[in-house]
């Protein structure tokens, strides 16, 4: 299956909601007290159903975009852009889909960037995010991709508190063929980070991926723990971490926006990865995120397997999200 085919397949739940909604909007005839429904007439005379772009139609469209988790502001702007040049005209579902895909792609384009690779070795990537967002899984997938690209990768199990977390990371390390540096349970994560970076340097590694704990008692604890990791890393390399990746779970919908707000205060977030886009109808939240924060989106998680981390291609994502075919 092609990249696009797989993406479309995995975004099925989100695209069903959006695409089905677009079909309904076009099929839905405006309520006119006099005479037969214009929607019916156009269907009888022209084949493809068309709908007049008027205020009622635009309101339905805006509602649909909000229901699809694009957020109120983004939904309003996208709707206004679609209205431009089309108001007062009749349009079919294919044209509406195409127009929406183009608007979504326009928002996503500036933020769709792969994780930047720097000549500095080892490049330190700190991975943060709330409990269960997919940090460990994403690290496993990233490690596998970079290793396949010929990079020497090391993983540090910075979630030292939970034994299960360390084991989970070791399983991913085996799958990816990448060593996982661990410390005894309860070790200070900052001390592990220090040792890991020192070792990665000595071994001539290209990339050090550091996993962190998602669950801490409160925000102050989390802030303190992450700040300490960064402080200690900088003793070894003043430019570390070179990237701080925030991993977000798409199934949380609009809550992902709050998580970005919070983590931007706690850590110097340089980019985002959104996971679990395969299991949710809330994929539109990615559009809201791109529009609101402008932070780079490096990749998207579309499944639990090692190959299920897709590059974030704005055109493909937009077309898959609205249920459009290949460009
Ligand atoms: N369907 C799907 N599941 C995913 C994806 N990414 C992660 N998961 C699943 O989400 C669950 C949590 O993933 P983890 O990687 O353990 O999340 P975490 O952020 O490390 O969690 P903590 O260590 O508890 O903070 C696991 O069951 C993963 O298999 C994805 O892209 N799609
Ligand atoms: Mg984890």
Task: Give the start-to-end residue ranges of the domains of the chain.
Answer: 3-111, 123-311
- Report the nearest-CA residue for atom 14 of ligand 1: 134
Gap between the Cα atoms of 70 and 203, Å rounded: 45
Beta carbon of 279 within 6 Å of any ligand 1 atom: yes
- Report the nearest-CA residue for atom 30 of ligand 1: 276
Gap between the Cα atoms of 26 and 38, Å rounded: 11
Cβ-contact 218, 102 below 8 angstroms: no
Beta carbon of 305 within 6 Å of any ligand 1 atom: no
Q: Which residues contact 6 (CB under 8 A, 6 or more apart)?
A: 302, 310
Beta carbon of 275 within 6 Å of any ligand 1 atom: yes
Q: Which residues contact 95 (CB under 8 A, 6 or more apart)?
A: none
Q: Which residue ranges of the chain lie beneath pLDDT 50?
A: 31, 33-36
Ligand 1 center–CA 304 separation, angstroms: 7
Buried b (16+ CB within 10 A) or exposed e, 150-181: ebbbbbbbbbbeeeebbebbeebbeebebbbb
276: left (phi > 0), else alpha (psi -120 to 50), else beta?
A: left
Fold designation for 3-111? 1.20.120
The number of the ligand 1 atom at minimal distance from the alpha carbon of 137 is 15
Gap between the Cα atoms of 183 and 192, Å rounded: 6
Give how far Cα 240 sits from Cα of 45, 142, 174, 208, Å: 65, 19, 26, 10
> What is the pLDDT, as a whole number, of residue 30?
59
> What is the pLDDT, as a whole number, of residue 44?
53
> What is the pLDDT, as a whole number, of residue 325?
80
The number of the ligand 1 atom at minimal distance from the alpha carbon of 132 is 21
| 241 cis-preceded (ω within 30 degrees of 0) | yes
Tokens of 57: 């139609």
Beta carbon of 129 within 6 Å of any ligand 1 atom: yes
> What is the pLDDT, as a whole number, of residue 31?
46
CATH 3.30.365.10 fits 123-311, yes or no: no
> What does the DSSP assignment read for 72-97?
HHHHHHHHHHHHTTTTTSEEEHHHHH
Q: Minimum-distance ligand to the CA of 215? A: 1
Q: Which residues pair with 284 in a beta bridge?
A: none
Predicted TM-score (pTM) of the model is 0.93
Residue 56's closest CA among 16, 83, 92?
Answer: 83
> What is the pLDDT, as a whole number, of residue 1?
75
The number of the ligand 1 atom at minimal distance from the alpha carbon of 300 is 31
């Amino acid at each position: 299956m092609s990249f696009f085919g797989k993406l479309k397949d995995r975004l099925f739940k989100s695209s069903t909601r959006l695409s089905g909604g677009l079909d309904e909007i076009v099929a839905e005839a405006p309520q006119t007290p006099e005479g037969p429904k214009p929607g019916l007439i156009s269907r009888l005379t022209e084949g493809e159903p068309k709908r007049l772009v008027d205020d009622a139609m635009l309101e339905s469209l805006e509602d649909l975009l909000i229901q699809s988790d694009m957020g109120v502001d983004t939904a309003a702007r996208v709707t206004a852009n679609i209205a431009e040049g089309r108001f007062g005209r009749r349009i079919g579902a294919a044209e509406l889909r195409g127009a929406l895909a183009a608007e979504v792609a326009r928002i996503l384009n500036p933020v769709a960037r792969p994780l930047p690779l720097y000549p500095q070795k080892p490049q330190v990537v700190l991975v943060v995010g709330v409990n269960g967002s997919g940090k460990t899984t994403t690290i496993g997938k990233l490690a596998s991709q970079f290793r396949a690209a010929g990079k020497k990768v090391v993983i540090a199990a910075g979630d030292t508190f939970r034994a299960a977390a360390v084991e989970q990371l070791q399983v991913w390390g085996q799958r990816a063929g990448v060593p996982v540096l661990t410390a005894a349970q309860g070790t200070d994560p900052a001390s592990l980070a220090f040792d890991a970076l020192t070792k990665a340097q000595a071994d001539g590694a290209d990339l050090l991926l550091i996993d962190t704990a998602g669950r801490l008692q409160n925000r102050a604890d989390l802030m303190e723990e992450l700040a300490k990791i960064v402080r200690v890393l900088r003793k070894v390399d003043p430019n570390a971490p070179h990237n701080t990746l925030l991993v977000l779970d798409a199934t949380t919908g609009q809550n992902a926006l709050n998580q970005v707000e919070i983590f931007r205060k706690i850590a110097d977030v340089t980019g985002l990865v959104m996971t679990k886009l395969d299991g949710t109808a809330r994929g539109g939240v990615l559009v809201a995120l791109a529009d609101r924060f402008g932070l780079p989106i490096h990749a998207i998680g579309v499944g639990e397997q090692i190959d299920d981390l897709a590059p974030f291609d704005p055109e493909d994502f937009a077309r898959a999200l609205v249920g459009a075919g290949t460009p």
